Chains A and B, each alone.
Chain A
Amino acid sequence: MEKPFNNRAWFMVLPVFIIVAFSAILPLMTVVNYSVQDTFGNNQFFWNGIGWFKELLDLSSELGGRFIDAMFRNFLFSFLILLIEIPLGIAVALAMPRQGWAVSVSLVLLALPLLIPWNVVGTIWQVFGRTDIGLLGWGLTSLGIDYNYVSGVLAAWITIIIMDVWHWTSLVVLLCYAGLRSIPDAFYQAARIDGASRWAIFCAIQLPKMSRVLVIAVLLRFMDSFMIYTEPFVVTGGGPGNATTFISIDLVKIALGQFDLGKAAALSLVYNLIILTVCWVFYTVMTHYESKDGRARP
């Protein structure tokens, strides 16, 4: 049934609108304000127009170079973790038990990393990867592998990618598991009568049924990995050199470290715009899926 049109519904949305606007619009106004000004300290600001944005998007300048490098690292990181987490998540979800106590145990254990504060996740891996006191680092070193995430770029990248896989694959697993659970048994029985292979069942029944949750999984994992801050910051501090400095880390460095408010603000706005664009694309795809399901969504 079509939903009735009623503008009084705004009154019910108003509290949410006010609190989110207070937390989102007011601070963003500050950011916009900073982004067009320059300061020599002492709270004296003067107009700088779009100077910061020009510098940010000019790849030959120091700021622009930093930005494009950090952005490249962000995209590379998101791409790599999606490449690992999505297939791994599907595989683990398919391996989940169907019933009995094992379901509860697996769910609790799987969800555990999701509820660990992000800097504790960083700490866990920082310790785990250390060659002197960590099991992973010690194990790899005694196997004769040259592994040191403090000095080696490759080792640092591998560490933060494994950390992210450890931290977030469970989310993909839980989403896929929920998608799989919604498949009626009749589908499997029909497949068995047809003599379908395991692979055919996966391609023809399970994957299409999971497609909607998979879009959500990709969206969430992309977004959260794109704004990742705490975990790599705790593990590598953005190093070695700038090898694991993502946009967020750079942004906090510029804003709270150097107090270069103008630069930081311009960077924030561009960063936000990128996220907004990607979010919009995914949202459009998602609502498209949902309307295909015949479920009307706002």
Chain B
Amino acid sequence: MRGSRFVLVSYIVFLLLPIYWLVNMSLKTNTEITGPLTLFPHELTFDNYIKIFTDSSWYMGYVHAVQYVVINTVISVTLALPAAYAFSRYRFVGDKHLFFWLLTNRMAPAAVFALPFFNLYQAVGLFDTVWAVALAHCLFNVPLAVWILEGFISGVPHEIDETAQIDGYSFPHYFVKIFIPLIGNGIGVAAFFCFMFSWVELLLARTLTAVEAKPISAIMTRTVSAAGMDWGLLAAAGVLTIVPGAIVIYFVRNYIAKGFALGRV
């Protein structure tokens, strides 16, 4: 077993080293960064973080990103729930084709959609709003949510549906009061993955925003200026984009394996 521990530990070190380097850089001054290489900050500074938290053009980037991620997650999971139920419980005309078509959208390259989305959202007047990004991310998150939820719903015995019907529950009442609590885990897992893929996507988010709704990951590119790179600030902004993900992972850590166990993601 010693060999396996070695594999695991060295892999995790490999994962953490670049992240450590980013954190390390964010706590240094620019003179120290560009000077001789130091393994840890000699002149510890929090100026980079203070700048981000006090300058609204910086911290609003986080607000925008969180806004569209949350809107997208809510839309995706809400719409996907009834659809996943339908796929899991019924056969209907074109169901297999529809399911496959949905899945292909999860696989469609964002680069193909960048330009048409730009035209589309400009035409409907949503360009440069968080709604444009939230809706655009539905392209891959809705199919993903349907896929994950379908797996969880298929795990609920259909006898429960029938029992509720005999007990006189109307369908909507049953769905909201009994069924949704039953697949709470599944909704959590689906929401986690919607959050994840919306949070990490940049190409569409950058194409669909200009000024008002620019997410942090697009603002980061601003650190290149005439005076050269502001490495410390760039690193601090990068570190802060890792934090929300880390928090979310911490909360869902026990469900991640379960969600993957369905082999759906």
Contacts and interface: CB of A to CB of B under 8 A. Distances in A.
A133 B37 contact: yes
- Interface centre among A1, A113, A119, by most chain B C-beta atoms within 10 angstroms, is A119
Contacts of B85: 12
Tell me the dominant secondary structure on chain B's binding face.
Answer: helix
A9 B92 contact: yes
B146 A16 contact: yes
Interface residues of B, number: 100
A166 B199 contact: no
Interface stretch (A148-156, A171-179, A184-192): A171-179
A157 interface: no
A109 B109 contact: no
Contact of A4 (B90, B120, B135): B90
Contacts of A104: 253-254
A245 interface: no
A182 B258 CA distance: 10
B219 to A, nearest CB: 11
Interface stretch (A45-53, A56-64, A76-84, A267-275): A267-275
A36 interface: no
A92 B114 contact: no
19 contacts: A5-B90, A5-B92, A9-B92, A9-B95, A12-B85, A19-B135, A20-B105, A23-B105, A96-B8, A112-B249, A115-B200, A115-B245, A118-B217, A123-B22, A127-B22, A133-B34, A177-B260, A256-B115, A295-B154
Interface of B: 3-5, 7-8, 11-12, 14-19, 21-22, 25, 33-34, 37, 39, 75, 79-80, 82-83, 85-93, 95-96, 98-100, 102-105, 107-117, 119-120, 135-136, 138-139, 142-143, 146, 150, 154, 158, 196, 199-203, 207, 216-217, 220-221, 231, 234-235, 238, 241-242, 244-246, 248-250, 253-254, 256-258, 260-265
Given A3-B89, A227-B108, A283-B100, 8 more contacts: A9-B95, A20-B143, A108-B246, A115-B242, A119-B220, A120-B217, A175-B260, A226-B109
Interface of A: 1, 3-10, 12-13, 15-17, 19-20, 22-24, 26-28, 30-31, 88, 91-92, 94-97, 104, 106-120, 123-125, 127-128, 132-136, 138, 166, 169-170, 174-175, 177-179, 181-182, 212-213, 216, 220, 223, 226-227, 229-230, 247-249, 251-252, 255-256, 261, 264, 268, 271-272, 275-276, 279-280, 283, 295, 297-298
